[in-house]
């Protein structure tokens, strides 16, 4: 199955790009599902029809669905949620507060990705397009297998067995004193099952032969920064980005003086997008004169984006940024083919790393693991600039 994740700052047009990509894939004969995991769903508005939690046919070879995070959470984490709610209520919180606090931050986003894994396992579709929320927060949870694997296998599994054996003995004593029960088998099983799901999900997301992220951005300063940050986090977890879509560019034919300053700013930011994401391919999409709602509008967007191309191709196969940890020391590796080390200048300011190559400059927004560190040396090796941090 080909998996394509569309992400970007809210309001940049990623849902329209996801829907148009789905149209083109279906047109080429691929069985395609476009799944929205963004809490602020707009996929139904884009297709101009009703969508729900279960996949609905949009046209031949194309289905759409909008994730109901609460339903997904209940199915995957319901037993733990109910137990945490019981504990919090026993400590004096009322029902609504306890239920809200029982849902850990980021859980709805990660279960959106788990839903993607379920579709992957079922194998009903050939192409899965995810219209996702900005993925930085959710992708941090992909570090669970690396960080938690030792504890889950060496500590949690034995604890799970002990809990099952001792619960019948201590429950009659514990409940009258504490006001709530000891966790049952269903509650104890859920975290380990969740860990296993994330471990399997990581294998799918980090296989860049079948999974790619496409960043949708606008030629605006704040949006570009957010896109750079998302790219850094994706790279931190070895999730490949194969394309950047620069959306809503004012066409040259717009000559109204009101837009002149805006067009000049966009020209500057368009250049920054090409430089900062190089060597990733960048596709530019104009600002249309109408909303991207309904099939007619999406057909125009589809033609602009892909024309005769197959969107399922991997547009770029190298990881342009890699974060490597070796013997407790981090290295940031940038793919800069054909560039000599003596032409490169580095400067770090807060959480940004400025890389200057001749007249070209690239700003990288560093992930938190590197933002607090300082560059301690750099070398060119196999077309990668490898920067050590300490």
> For 308-319, how does the pLDDT look when each residue is reduced to its tens digit (9 = 90+)?
999 999 999 877
Chain segment 170-203, per-residue pLDDT in tens? 777 777 777 777 777 888 887 788 778 878 888 8
Banded pLDDT at 325 (limits 50, 70, 90)? confident
CA distance 386 to 360: 18
* Overall pTM surpassing 0.85 (yes/no): no
Q: Where are the alpha helices (DSSP H) in the chain?
A: 14-27, 43-47, 69-90, 95-101, 107-122, 136-140, 144-151, 157-178, 185-205, 221-236, 260-276, 295-306, 368-371
Spatial CA neighbour of 225 closest among 365, 320, 351:
365
* Rounded CA separation 58/65 (Å): 10
Residue 287: per-residue pLDDT: 94
Confidence of residue 135 (pLDDT cuts 50, 70, 90): low
Q: DSSP for 21-42, please give it.
A: HHHHHHHTT--EEEEE--SS--
Beta carbons within 8 Å of 289's beta carbon, 6+ residues apart: none
Mean pLDDT, the chain, integer: 83
If DSSP states are collapsed to H, E and C, what string results for 276-293? Answer: HCCCCCEEEEECCCCCCC
pLDDT band at 361 (very low <50, low <70, confident <90, very high): low
Give per-residue pLDDT as tens, 228-259.
878 877 776 778 899 999 999 999 999 999 99
């Amino acid at each position: 199955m080909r998996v394509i994740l569309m992400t970007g700052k809210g309001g940049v047009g990623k849902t329209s790009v996801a829907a148009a990509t789905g149209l083109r894939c279906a047109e080429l004969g691929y069985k395609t599902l476009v799944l929205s995991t963004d809490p602020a769903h707009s996929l139904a508005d884009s297709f101009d029809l009703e969508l729900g939690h279960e996949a609905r046919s949009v046209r031949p070879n194309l289905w759409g669905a909008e994730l109901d995070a609460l339903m997904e959470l209940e199915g995957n984490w319901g037993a733990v949620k109910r137990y945490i709610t019981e504990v919090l209520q026993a400590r004096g919180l009322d029902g609504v507060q306890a239920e809200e606090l029982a849902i850990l931050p980021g859980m709805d986003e990660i279960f959106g990705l788990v839903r993607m894994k379920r579709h992957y396992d079922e194998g009903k579709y050939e192409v899965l397009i995810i219209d996702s929320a900005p993925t930085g927060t959710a992708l941090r949870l992909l570090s669970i297998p690396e960080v938690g694997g030792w504890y889950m296998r060496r500590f949690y599994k034995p604890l799970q067995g002990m809990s099952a054996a001792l619960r019948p003995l201590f429950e009659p004593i514990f409940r009258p004193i504490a006001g709530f029960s000891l966790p049952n088998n269903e509650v104890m099983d859920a975290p380990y099952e969740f860990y296993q799901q994330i471990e399997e999900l990581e294998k799918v997301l980090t296989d860049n032969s079948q999974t790619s992220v496409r960043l949708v951005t606008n030629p605006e300063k704040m949006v570009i920064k957010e896109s750079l940050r998302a790219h850094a986090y994706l790279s931190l977890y070895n999730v490949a980005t194969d394309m950047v879509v620069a959306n809503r560019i004012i066409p040259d034919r717009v000559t109204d003086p009101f837009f002149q300053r805006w067009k000049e700013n966009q020209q500057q930011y368009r250049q920054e997008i090409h430089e900062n994401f190089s060597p990733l391919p960048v596709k530019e999409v104009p600002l249309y004169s109408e909303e991207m709602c309904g099939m007619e509008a999406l057909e125009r967007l589809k033609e602009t984006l892909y024309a005769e191309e197959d969107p399922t191709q991997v547009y770029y196969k190298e990881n342009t940024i890699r974060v490597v940890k070796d013997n407790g020391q981090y290295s940031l590796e940038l793919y800069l083919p054909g560039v000599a080390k003596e032409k490169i200048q580095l400067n770090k300011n807060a959480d940004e790393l400025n890389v200057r190559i001749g007249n070209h400059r690239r700003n990288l927004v560093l992930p938190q693991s590197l933002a607090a560190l300082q560059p301690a040396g750099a070398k060119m090796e196999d077309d990668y600039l490898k920067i050590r941090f300490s």
